[in-house]
Structure 1
Amino acid sequence: MTVGARVVALRERLVQVPLDAMFVTTVANVRYATGFADVFDDEAAVAALVTHDEAVLFTDSRYVEAVRSAADGTPWEVVLATGPLFEPALERIAASGTKALALESGLPYRRYRMIAERFEGRLEVLDDVIEQLREVKDAEETARIEAACALGDRAFDYVLGVLAPGLREIDVALELEVFMRRNGSEGLAFPSIVASGPHSSMPHAGVTHRVLEQGDVLTMDFGARIGGYCSDMTRTVVLGTATEEVRRVHAAVLEAQRTGVAGVAAGKTGIEIDAAARDALARVGLAEHFGHGLGHGVGLAVHELPSVSQRGERVVKAGSVITIEPGVYLQGRFGVRIEDCIVVEDGGCRVLTRSPAELIELN
């Protein structure tokens, strides 16, 4: 979808509600609406206003040159904020004659209050308007995610040759980051998870200075960012020879992961897809050790719509990119998680992550 088409889609939503204008401040949503995926960082220094006949982006002096260059040939007018970012935005809203203004549901309360105190018309908070547009990727977006996944695969292959007892978790995380950056990543899709030994039983363990030991289970969850779009993959390996219990758990998680992938198709709900993988773990008595959702959407942000979980009531659409990532976590001992990015298609899906998911024992 072109930038112009995205603006048109937002205006169509304004007609449907109906409202006069939409004010957007979530950075990922601004990136999507403008198409400026790699022009500004995650700092709250941009805001966008879309009316029935205007599209205006507000930013400060740190970003204005790059934003104006990116905006050339697009519907977006760029306004430099010389003081607080919201001042020119609120002035423009008033000048546009807006009587009914849409705000994002994720707007911080302090900012909502600032707008409410200054805006004399009707405010309406809308849920996931742009997030729903972001949910289905076009060919270019999918290609960027696929490129990020390919780089993640290369990083995993590289780090397998580096892993050894004596390294720290933080060393492994650094190796992954440096490799991805040197090979084209604009940064990390998210802070990498490198969880060794007993730390691997914590699904989102923080990276520590723990020294890797022979026999450790090691879970690595990481992603690259290409053209503003994220990848997300997880693999669990063993330094040395795995115990029979680790092999059994890994085999169960791998079967659940494959079952989950096989169950993906456009038109199913996130609940249905989650249940297939969860039932596979239940059949071997491990479902109680799988506490999180099976997956989530991936795009400009590493976590976005749709939700593939026990709360995922929405239907998953063709063109969505999601993760399938079951895990089993035995508290204080070890954990196993396997995660791939996949594109949802009519009647099935296509896996973007190519790294081997079978248990790797690094002897």
Structure 2
Amino acid sequence: MTARPNFYRFHNGEKAPLQFSEAEYEARLQKLRQTMSDMGVDAAVFTSMHNVSYFSGFTYCAFGRPYALVVTQSTSVTISAGIDAGQPWRRSYGDNITYTDWQRDNYWRAIGSVAGKGKSIGYESDHLSLLQKAKLDSFLMPEQCVDLYEASMVQRMHKSAEELTLIRAGAAVADVGGFAIKDAIRAGTREIDVAMAGRDAMEAEIAKRFPDAEYRDTWVWFQSGINTDGAHNPVTSRVLERGDILSLNTFPMISGYYTALERTLFVEEVDDASLKLWEANIGAHELGMSLLKSGVSCAAVTEEINAFFAERDLLQYRTFGYGHSFGVLSHYYGREAGLELREDIDTVLEPRMVISMEPMLTIAEGQPGAGGYREHDILIIQEEGNENITKYPYGPEFNVVG
């Protein structure tokens, strides 16, 4: 009987075109290796979807199985489960090792074959569970462990020219979804039907713009009435009624890169109380966009918008921070938490950072103007000011529809 291996290389077929050039991935790895050298790290063991995707191009589908990217000064190897066969190798920059499930913890044996034992190991404290950290210690027996969470996040916050090109395309796809949603809105239609129109339009647009990509995870949150109170409320089968407040949220995913468009709308008409709140939130949105420039801290931007709402006795209706970074992120994996518009984030904006402006007010049911009001644009920080790459219009002139 042939012995079954703990891990092996299944390089099936030819390498597929990735979302970025080989030079782009090599530049990312070289910057990472310099960081590793500076921090005394022999091997980096990345386990998060965002870092594996950022440094290799492979966006894994975990489904209860662990994945990794191991980077040393001489190699870069994705570690993937046998269920995926050759796809991780075809869709990653560098080498790939497949681990089998014939024996428990073959995942760590595969990692150890690249990282070695008794070395200085870099890891991600924000992702590695207590269980998996214990296994890292057991199988790799590291001389020391060094947290690369913050250093890798800071690297991802500064976008390359190739990243900015893809992010601009993503914002344009989000706009396509927004216009499709607007066309589908009418009293008597269900939220789910409107959402599907936007999703289908975006997926078709992504396939047209990126014919060599893999397609997955593009979605829409389209909310109406009371369902607008939370920014991440799922789609339902609620039927739209005349006078309803609506929240349009389109989210194209292109090779692990997420972009977004979010807008407040009303069905056919908007009452005076709602219009006043809507216009106040638009005022905060426009103020916020004007503040996003190089040299300004996230906390400083936040405080100015807070003051705007406080002057109008609306600050108590704010529900979350005013914006966040864009790049390799999703609703089910990481984001660059060091670049969020909140009081406790002191990061100073720099050119080539990408950040949203998205103020939101939520008024409880039973009060005049009840509902959630939110506008969302994506901006690229430049040497002077910013570039707004969102083109779908905001405000009542365009978004009282149906």
Q: Same fold (TM over 0.5)?
A: yes
Q: Which amino acid aligns with 1:26?
A: S
Q: Which of 68, 90, 98 in structure 2 is aligned with 1:80?
A: 98
Instruction: Report whether the alignment pairs 1:325 with 2:358.
Output: yes
Q: Which amino acid aligns with 1:119?
A: L
Taking the aligned partners of 2:293 and 2:48, their CA distance within structure 1 comes to 30
Q: 1:293-317 CA distances to partner (integer Å, 9 max, x unpaired)?
A: 0000011114434111122211122
Report how far residue 123 of structure 1 moved: 2.1
8 Å Cα contact 2:118-2:141 kept in structure 1: no
> Counterpart in 2 of 1:172?
194
> Counterpart in 1 of 2:20?
none
Gaps (5+ residues) in structure 2?
Answer: 1-22, 208-214
Instruction: Report whether the alignment pairs 1:225 with 2:253.
Output: yes
Q: In structure 1, the residue corresponding to 2:206 is in which secondary structure?
A: coil
Structure 1 segment 242-261 matched on structure 2, within 5 A: 242-261=270-289
8 Å Cα contact 1:269-1:315 kept in structure 2: yes
Q: Which amino acid aligns with 2:357?
A: I
Q: 1:186-232 CA distances to partner (integer Å, 9 max, x unpaired)?
A: 3345x532221122223322222221111100012221123432111
Q: Which amino acid aligns with 2:79?
A: F
Q: Which amino acid aligns with 1:327?
A: M
> Which structure shows the bigger proportion of residues in strand conformation?
1
* TM-score scaled by length of structure 1: 0.91
Query: Relative to structure 2, which stretch is displaced further, 212-221 or 304-313?
Result: 304-313
8 Å Cα contact 1:23-1:48 kept in structure 2: yes
Q: In structure 1, the residue corresponding to 2:275 is in which secondary structure?
A: helix
Q: Which amino acid aligns with 1:312?
A: I
Report how far residue 125 of structure 1 moved: 2.7
Taking the aligned partners of 2:230 and 2:56, their CA distance within structure 1 comes to 38
> Counterpart in 2 of 1:9?
31
> Counterpart in 2 of 1:307?
340
> Counterpart in 1 of 2:121?
101
Report how far residue 277 of structure 1 moved: 2.3
8 Å Cα contact 1:203-1:329 kept in structure 2: no
Q: Which of 138, 143, 160 in structure 2 is aligned with 1:117?
A: 138
Taking the aligned partners of 1:42 and 1:276, their CA distance within structure 2 comes to 41
Q: Which of 216, 225, 228 in structure 2 is aligned with 1:187?
A: 216
Report how far residue 275 of structure 1 moved: 2.1
Taking the aligned partners of 1:36 and 1:244, their CA distance within structure 2 comes to 50
Report how far residue 98 of structure 1 moved: 4.6
Structure 1 segment 36-115 matched on structure 2, within 5 A: 36=58, 40-41=60-61, 43=63, 44-71=65-92, 76-83=94-101, 84-94=106-116, 98-105=118-125, 106-115=127-136
Q: What's the Cα RMSD here?
A: 2.0
Q: In structure 2, the residue corresponding to 1:307 is in which secondary structure?
A: coil
Taking the aligned partners of 1:171 and 1:279, their CA distance within structure 2 comes to 39
Q: In structure 2, the residue corresponding to 1:13 is in which secondary structure?
A: helix
Q: In structure 2, the residue corresponding to 1:297 is in which secondary structure?
A: coil
How many residues align structurally? Answer: 355
Moved over 6 A (4+): none
8 Å Cα contact 1:28-1:301 kept in structure 2: yes
Taking the aligned partners of 1:89 and 1:214, their CA distance within structure 2 comes to 58
Taking the aligned partners of 1:150 and 1:126, their CA distance within structure 2 comes to 33
Q: Which amino acid aligns with 1:308?
A: L
| Identical-pair percentage | 22
Taking the aligned partners of 1:209 and 1:260, their CA distance within structure 2 comes to 34
Q: 1:45-104 CA distances to partner (integer Å, 9 max, x unpaired)?
A: 531111222222212334452333345xx5x2222212342221123323xx55211111
Report how far residue 235 of structure 1 moved: 0.4
Q: 1:300-351 CA distances to partner (integer Å, 9 max, x unpaired)?
A: 1144341111222111221111110001110122121000111111221111
* TM-score scaled by length of structure 2: 0.83
Report how far residue 240 of structure 1 moved: 1.4
Taking the aligned partners of 1:179 and 1:207, their CA distance within structure 2 comes to 17
Taking the aligned partners of 2:148 and 2:90, their CA distance within structure 1 comes to 31
